[in-house]
Chains A and B, each alone.
Chain A
Amino acid sequence: MKQKITTTILQARNSYSTRVRSLGVFGILLAFVVICAALALTTPRFLTVGNLTIILTQVSINALLAFGVTFVIITGGIDLSLGSMVAVTGVAAALFAHPDTYPLVVPLGIALAAGVAMGGFNGLVITRSKVPPFIVTLGTMTIGRGLALILSKGRPVSNLSDTFNFIGGGQVFGIPFPIIILVVVFGLCTLLLKKTIWGRYMYAVGGNEQAARASGISVAKVKMIVYTLCGALAALAGIVLTSRITTGQPNAGQGFELDAIAAAIIGGTSTSGGSGTMTGTLIGALLIGVISNGLDLLNVTSYYQEVVMGVIIIGAVVLDGLNRKG
């Protein structure tokens, strides 16, 4: 009974911070357009097909990770192991992607399996042990980094086949392949979130886990799905990254999880769970990409870029909060 009162109070507070989402996406879209317009006016090189293609290609890896972590954050969780999963899966793929060894499906399959396994492990521990996702994925982040170093014996894995390198570096009808992956995955993730029961259940679990459970939703299953999916998308990102730099780097992906989480949050996903959209996250990732590209074009050194990015993350969330209150 006493507990019930407490949860009621907490719930009431929660509901205050997780409200309308459509407005949030509109706000961030507006910010995105304004920034693009400003960059287009100040730097003539910004609005060229070549430059925009570069931005999209650069954004693709972060966006893939951000889509995954958006699912997780919507259910009220977090995944800090993304960057390590990128490294593990990238190295795993590279080990089987040397020329004239295995067909392409082998490195891809192995990387995906590794991602699914790691994500599944996260999900399993989180649903079975009740240890907060923050702690569990902090653990797997370290485990993953170790695994990547073990698998690669601490050295970059290079000499990869041309077919493998096509994934990150090739083009179809002049469009870089990573962009095609990005678009397809974005479409699939949107469908999953908007049009399937699992998407609906994710919102319910993140918004009010007790209510979700009482509605007959298997909360554990939903959480397993999001963490596993997050692992699979990390594997995809790992493959694209490894292929793009034509090397399996055990130290790759450090800090990627934070960029991905930032993209989701800038895109209006509430860290308290229950709200968020793929469109928002995509715009968030694009915004990060455009700003770092713009700052490059304006010859701002990378030290300052970090500062700017941090300010933008905080600013986006503050604006979002004001938006929701008003």
Chain B
Amino acid sequence: MANPDLPFFHFMDNQTARPVLVVRALSKSFGGIKALDKVEFTLNGGEVHALMGENGAGKSTLMKILMGLETADSGEIMLAGKSWENHGVRDALDRGISMIHQELQVVPELTVAENIFLGRESTRWLPGWLDDRSIYQTTKQLLTDLGVALDAHTRMKYLSVAEMQMVEIAKAISYDARVIIMDEPTSALSEKEVAALFGIIKDLKAKGVSIIYISHKMEEIAQIADTVTVLRDGKYVGTKPAAELDQSTLITMMVGRTIDSLFPEATAEKGEVVLSVKNLSIPGKFQDISFDLRAGEVLGLAGLMGAGRTEVARAIFGLDPLAEGEIFIKSEKTTIRSPEDAIRHGIGYVSEDRKAWGCVPGMSVLHTMTLSSLRDHLRGGFIDAGSEKAAASRMATDLHIKTAGLSQQVLQLSGGNQQKVLIGKTLLAEPEIIIFDEPTRGIDIGAKHEIYKLIRQLTAQGIAVLLISSELPEVLGLCDRVLVLAEGRQTAVLSGQTISQEKIMNHAIQR
């Protein structure tokens, strides 16, 4: 166990470019399905090693084996030159391997320090009697070392996602971690917070810590990674220095085929205005938001995290009550009090948070898909199972949803397929306006491409799309116009040639 009283960063081998961790021919099957098939992976000291691949490529399984959450069927793991058999999470932590999970594992009611030392509280005086002073002192030191301005006494629930992540990093370091696995650490961070995180990663690197960095974001890999290893369908594809890889090579390695253009060409004709909002306000969230949305158009809603994009979408969809403002659908003034109203008026919403707002645990793909349109399958007051199934299976084919069958539970699917099921649910309600809120968050490049194609197909059919995205390339690649928000206010509407990454950022950052 790491002793909180010891100083940090005292490593035996502080040399870089010497393998800290080597994985040889590692295989793992789950009931006949090979999740990992003779995978190779070499992590050098003080490097940021990106692990890439589509969902289902085996990244998570490999990380779970490293963390001792799963055991490998065959193969070998060498730690600092010695063969190592992982005996579970505790063993991994004791040997200096830590993981920062994508879904942060925090206890909201406990303080920063209590979270960091959860499960290894200092009890110097009496068994079971908490010695709080030492954990707060150590935490303070840790946070100072990291350059994070956080109070060790703050309860976790008051922190932003980014701050929680910093705490998790501090926790990893408190275990004297020499290898830190970061699973999509930036998926909920703003640009500024990402920059701060990258700063910390560089510091850690300088101190000889190695980082295994899992991400789907190409730009980040270019920015932060030294080396890239790609997995595909559980197999090792290759390892290359990040500097030698361009985006298209990387995509080809991951997908196994060439995707000519990530963003398909726009072909849709713009029609009449289908949605028009005027002076929408919810105090404390957003003020005076007005825009028009035409049939066949993609309007982007850009801005930093917390700028009020999701809040605007939620209000239009009836999830939160509007304080002020009017909504017109096809020039008709409409009151939307609930999602029920919104769906009835032809609005669909694909939430940014699949788990919290989309999937019902235990519910099948079939039942999830028809949840918003169940009334279309009524016959004599009862659900017509045949008609329901036909609609869902048509949608599953159209959207290329990969399932073991419609009766499979949604939560067992990969992120990309879950997202497609939820999009299918929205589409089955036959909306004319669809709000996509971070539609590609946490899903792999292949599925992303399919969702982009789908958005194009929908607009070609005359559906109007409101797109919220934190990924600027996505906004640039898909949107006809972009509405930029900053701190709850609309600062610009960009269109056509005037849309650029710099312009969006300029308007998104309030002076």
Chain A interface residues toward B at CB < 8 A: 1-9, 11-12, 14-15, 18-21, 191, 195-197, 200-201, 203-204, 207-208, 210-218, 274-275
Q: Are A204 and B371 in contact (CB under 8 A)?
A: yes
**Given A195-B382, A196-B383, A200-B383, A217-B359 contact (CB < 8 Å):** no
Among B5-13, B117-125, B373-381, the one that faces the other chain is: B373-381
Q: Are A214 and B357 in contact (CB under 8 A)?
A: yes
Neighbouring A residues of B319 by C-beta, 8 Å = 213-214
Closest B residue to A220 using CB positions: B338
Q: Are A208 and B361 in contact (CB under 8 A)?
A: yes
Neighbouring A residues of B425 by C-beta, 8 Å = 215
Q: Are A8 and B355 in contact (CB under 8 A)?
A: yes
Closest B residue to A218 using CB positions: B340
Neighbouring A residues of B358 by C-beta, 8 Å = 211, 214
Closest 4 CB pairs of A and B: A15-B361, A207-B360, A216-B343, A195-B382
Q: Flag whether B411 is at the interface (Cβ < 8 A).
A: yes
- Inter-chain residue pair count (beta carbon < 8 A): 119
* Additional A-B contact list (19), CB under 8 Å, known A9-B103, A18-B362: A2-B108, A3-B157, A5-B161, A8-B353, A8-B356, A9-B104, A9-B105, A9-B106, A11-B355, A20-B362, A191-B382, A196-B381, A201-B374, A203-B362, A214-B317, A215-B372, A216-B343, A218-B338, A275-B362
**Given A2-B160, A214-B349, A19-B362 contact (CB < 8 Å):** yes
**Given A15-B361, A191-B382, A197-B383, A1-B342 contact (CB < 8 Å):** no
Q: Considering the chains assembled together, what is the distance between the CA atoms of A201 and B338 in angstroms?
A: 16
Q: From residue A272, how far is it (CB to closest CB) to chain B in Å? A: 9
Q: Considering the chains assembled together, what is the distance between the CA atoms of A197 and B353 in angstroms?
A: 25
Task: Specify which of B159, B339, B409 is in contact with A215 (CB 8 Å cutoff).
Answer: B339
Q: Are B362 and A8 in contact (CB under 8 A)?
A: no
Closest B residue to A13 using CB positions: B361
Q: Are B103 and A216 in contact (CB under 8 A)?
A: no
Neighbouring A residues of B204 by C-beta, 8 Å = none
**Given A1-B160, A1-B306, A215-B339, A197-B356 contact (CB < 8 Å):** no
Neighbouring B residues of A191 by C-beta, 8 Å = 382
Task: Specify which of A2, A14, A217 is in contact with B371 (CB 8 Å cutoff).
Answer: A217
Q: From residue B349, how far is it (CB to closest CB) to chain A in Å? A: 7
Neighbouring B residues of A9 by C-beta, 8 Å = 103-106
Q: Flag whether B84 is at the interface (Cβ < 8 A).
A: no
Neighbouring A residues of B361 by C-beta, 8 Å = 11, 14-15, 18-19, 207-208, 274
Q: Considering the chains assembled together, what is the distance between the CA atoms of A211 and B358 in angstroms?
A: 5
Neighbouring A residues of B353 by C-beta, 8 Å = 4, 8
Q: Considering the chains assembled together, what is the distance between the CA atoms of A204 and B370 in angstroms?
A: 11
What are 12 A-B pairs at a CB distance below 8 A? A1-B306, A3-B157, A19-B361, A19-B362, A197-B378, A203-B360, A204-B371, A207-B361, A210-B357, A211-B359, A214-B319, A216-B342
Neighbouring B residues of A196 by C-beta, 8 Å = 381-383
Q: Flag whether B255 is at the interface (Cβ < 8 A).
A: no
**Given A5-B164, A200-B383, A213-B339, A207-B103 contact (CB < 8 Å):** no
Q: Are B383 and A195 in contact (CB under 8 A)?
A: yes
Neighbouring B residues of A5 by C-beta, 8 Å = 103-104, 106, 108, 161, 164
Q: From residue B168, how far is it (CB to closest CB) to chain A in Å? A: 12
Neighbouring B residues of A212 by C-beta, 8 Å = 360, 371
Q: From residue A207, how far is it (CB to closest CB) to chain B in Å? A: 4
Q: Max chain A CB contacts within 10 Å: which of B157, B159, B344, B356?
A: B356
Q: From residue A293, how far is it (CB to closest CB) to chain B in Å? A: 34
Q: Considering the chains assembled together, what is the distance between the CA atoms of A217 and B375 in angstroms?
A: 11
Q: Flag whether B2 is at the interface (Cβ < 8 A).
A: no
Q: Are A210 and B429 in contact (CB under 8 A)?
A: no
Neighbouring B residues of A18 by C-beta, 8 Å = 361-362
Q: Are A11 and B356 in contact (CB under 8 A)?
A: yes
Q: Are A200 and B371 in contact (CB under 8 A)?
A: yes
Q: Considering the chains assembled together, what is the distance between the CA atoms of A20 and B375 in angstroms?
A: 25
Q: From residue B281, how far is it (CB to closest CB) to chain A in Å? A: 20
Neighbouring A residues of B378 by C-beta, 8 Å = 197
Q: From residue A13, how far is it (CB to closest CB) to chain B in Å? A: 10
Q: Are A204 and B360 in contact (CB under 8 A)?
A: yes
Q: Considering the chains assembled together, what is the distance between the CA atoms of A182 and B195 in angstroms?
A: 66
Q: Flag whether B351 is at the interface (Cβ < 8 A).
A: yes
For chain B, residues 68 to 108, give those with C-beta under 8 angstroms from any C-beta of chain A.
103-106, 108
Q: From residue B377, how far is it (CB to closest CB) to chain A in Å? A: 9
Task: Specify which of B158, B360, B367, B383 is in contact with A208 (CB 8 Å cutoff).
Answer: B360
